[in-house]
Amino acid sequence: MPRPALSELQAVVAVAKHRSFRRAAAALGVSASALSHAVAALEQRMGVRLFHRTTRSVALSDAGERFLARIAPALGEIDAAIEDANAFRDSPTGSLRLNTSEGAARLLMPAILAFLARYPEVRLDIVTDGRLVDIVEEGFDAGIRVAELVPQDMVAIPCSPSLRFIVAGAPDYFARHGAPRTPADLRGHACIRSRYPQGGAVYRWEFAKRGQQQLIDVEGMLTLDNSTLLIDAALAGVGLIWIHEASIVHHLAQGRLVAALEDWCPRFPGLCLYYPGHRHVPAALRAFIEVLREHDAVLAFPAAR
């Protein structure tokens, strides 16, 4: 029997890890059909079934369990050897997969572009997701989230200034309706509500001042689940939004949106890049962390005072 290709062995490990051809294919950067064909071809040459497949699940067979136990450590050593050799290059290569939110990606874009310019041989794959995913299970090298959302078993590296949610609206909205002076005043305003990415529950707007905290279930005719749509609706004068200040800093600076209740909007720790501490840190990820640290001060957007 011809020896299996390294890519075929990596395919077996990925499918076993993710228990899904679709998720394994995403982690490897190939199509699910190509991955399925590669595993099936290997099984045919070996004459054994490595996976039990149904329409709902994928599980290792007994033969697959024994096969994986032997090849997984060897592939880990190969990957580590490649990374060790990569460290002697002038510039890292390979791929780097990151999971983050749309707003975080937008805020970190100056650092991302600087990284691409400095390390053109690295393929950077950024997935923006409102859900907080398991980066290990989903095949990411690292994640970027606000500090309070980072799992405690991860290595976390701060990479942005402090953040806050603020209330904002278009100048013509405030000209017609006035500005709220306290969070309770929001009950008399048209508010554009937003939903959690997971579960679909509607956000309650959070405020704090001198130790006093308030959670407000705002009312309004429009509910959205996308920050870009929220901003578009606010710019059109539909109502007020409660949103990350970083998402609208340019609109604030140019006067297209105006902030309200700023003294009720406290700051909280900003973004962190995080990754599992037990895993070998790829050279590309180390380089990305270095660029983030260099740009930390640059990322302090104008409205963060």
pLDDT at 130 over 80: no
- Alpha-carbon distance of 203 to 180, in angstroms, equals 19
Highest mean pLDDT among 80-94, 101-115, 180-194: 180-194
Q: Which fold has domain 6-86?
A: Arc Repressor Mutant, subunit A (1.10.10)
Most confident of 69-78, 124-133, 167-176, 279-288: 167-176
Question: Is the pLDDT reported for residue 304 higher than 60?
Answer: no
Question: Helix 6-18 vs helix 32-46: angle between axes, to the nearest 10 degrees?
Answer: 110
The full DSSP string for 168-236 is EE-HHHHHHH---SSGGGGGGS-BEEEB-TTT-PBPPEEEEETTEEEEE----SEEES-HHHHHHHHHT
CA distance 294 to 213: 35
Q: Please, where in the chain does CATH 1.10.10.10 lie? A: 6-86
Give percent above pLDDT 70 in the chain: 91
Mean pLDDT of 139-160: 91
Residue 123 has what pLDDT? 92
| Per-residue confidence band for 208, with pLDDT thresholds at 50, 70 and 90 | very high
Cα–Cα dist 210/159, whole Å: 28
The predicted structure's pLDDT at residue 302 = 39
**Mean of pLDDT over the chain:** 87
The CA distances from residue 280 to 92, 120, 134, 214, 229, in Å, are 15, 22, 17, 43, 39
pLDDT at 55 over 80: no
Instruction: State the CATH class of domain 165-264.
Output: alpha beta
Amino acid 224: pLDDT: 93
- Which percentage of the chain shows pLDDT scores above 90? 43
Query: What is the structure's pLDDT at 203?
Result: 87
Rounded mean pLDDT, 241-259: 94
Res 247 pLDDT > 90? no
d(CA 46, CA 51): 13
Residues of the chain with CATH 3.40.190.290: 165-264
Report whether pLDDT(83) > 80.
Answer: no
Rounded distance between C-alpha atoms, residue 276 and residue 279, angstroms: 6
What tokens appear for 16 in the block?
């076993």
Lowest mean pLDDT among 113-117, 193-197, 204-208, 294-298: 294-298
More confident residue, 117 or 77: 117
Average pLDDT over residues 146-156: 91
Spatial CA neighbour of 240 closest among 215, 217, 264, 258: 258
Model confidence band, residue 87 (pLDDT cutoffs 50, 70, 90): low
What's the confidence (pLDDT) of residue 297? 45
Q: Using an 8 Å Cβ cutoff, are 16 and 60 in contact?
A: yes
Per-residue pLDDT at 85 = 66
Entry pTM: 0.64
CATH 3.40.190.10 in the chain: give the residue spans.
94-162+269-295
DSSP class of residue 59? Answer: E
**Through-space distance between the first and last CA atoms of the chain, rounded to whole angstroms:** 67
Q: How many CA atoms, within 13 angstroms, populate the side-chain half-sphere of residue 36?
A: 12
- Under CATH, domain 94-162+269-295 is a member of which superfamily? Periplasmic binding protein-like II (3.40.190.10)
Average pLDDT for 59-73: 88
Which of the 8 DSSP states describes residue 247? Answer: G
Which of 10-19, 82-91, 295-304 is most confident?
Answer: 10-19
Q: What is the mean pLDDT of residues 101-108?
A: 87
pLDDT band, very low/low/confident/very high, at 142 (cuts 50, 70, 90): very high
Residue owning tokens 């780097």: 96
Cα atoms in the 13 Å half-sphere on the side-chain side of 267: 11
pLDDT tens digit string along 176-199?
A: 999 999 999 999 999 999 987 766
